[in-house]
Amino acid sequence: MTDKIAVIDDDEVYQMIISRYIEKSGAFRLAEYYQFPKEALKYYSDNKENLPSVMLLDINMPLMDGWQFLEALQAQFPEIYDHTKIYIVTSSIAFSDKERFENFPKLAGFLSKPLNVEKLKEIGDNQK
86-103 pLDDT per residue, tens: 999 988 777 777 888 888
**CATH entry, 2-92, from 3.30.70.600, 1.10.3720.10, 1.10.1790.20, 3.40.50.2300:** 3.40.50.2300
Angle made by CA atoms 91, 116, 40, in degrees to the nearest 5: 60
Full-prediction pTM beyond 0.85? yes
Dihedral sign of CA atoms 68, 72, 78, 79 in order:
negative
Domains of the chain, residue spans: 2-92
Low-confidence ranges of the chain (pLDDT < 70): 1-2, 128
Per-residue pLDDT, 1: 44
CA-CA-CA-CA dihedral for 83, 87, 88, 93, to nearest 10: 160
What is the per-residue pLDDT for 52? Answer: 95
Indicate the SS3 state at residue 96: helix
